[in-house]
Structure 1
Amino acid sequence: MIVAGAGVQGTAHLARAQGCQDAFKAVDLGDAAVLAVSDGAGSRDRSALGAHVAVDVAARVLARDIPDASAAPEDWTAWIARCGKTVVEEYLRAVAGVLGADRADSVNRAVSADRAESGDRADSADRADCGDPAGAGDAADAGDPGDLAATLTAALVAPPWVAFVSVGDGFGTLLTRDDRCHLVLPPPEGPPVFLSSPGAALRVRTFVVWEPELSGVVLSTDGCAPLALDHPTVRQLPLSAGPLPADGFFLGLAAALRDTRGDAEPLRRLLSAPEAGRTGDDLTVLCALVERG
Structure 2
Amino acid sequence: MTEVIDGNAVAAEIRSDLQDSIDALADAGVRPGLATVLMSDDPASETYVSMKQRDCDEVGIEGIHVEIDPDAPAEELFDTVEDLNADPEVHGILVQMPVPDHVDDRRVIRAIDPEKDVDAFHPENVGRIVAGDPRYRPCTPHGVQKLLDAAGVETEGKDVTIVGRSNIVGKPLANLLVQKAEDGNATVTVCHSRTENLAEKTRRADVVVAACGVPEMIDGSMLSEGATVIDVGVNRVDADTEKGYELVGDVDFESAKEVAEAITPVPGGVGPMTRAMLLYNTVAAAGHQEGVDVDLP
What is the TM-score of this pair, normalised by structure 1? 0.32
Higher relative contact order (CA 8 A, sep 6+): 1
Say which structure is richer in strand: 1
What is the TM-score of this pair, normalised by structure 2? 0.32
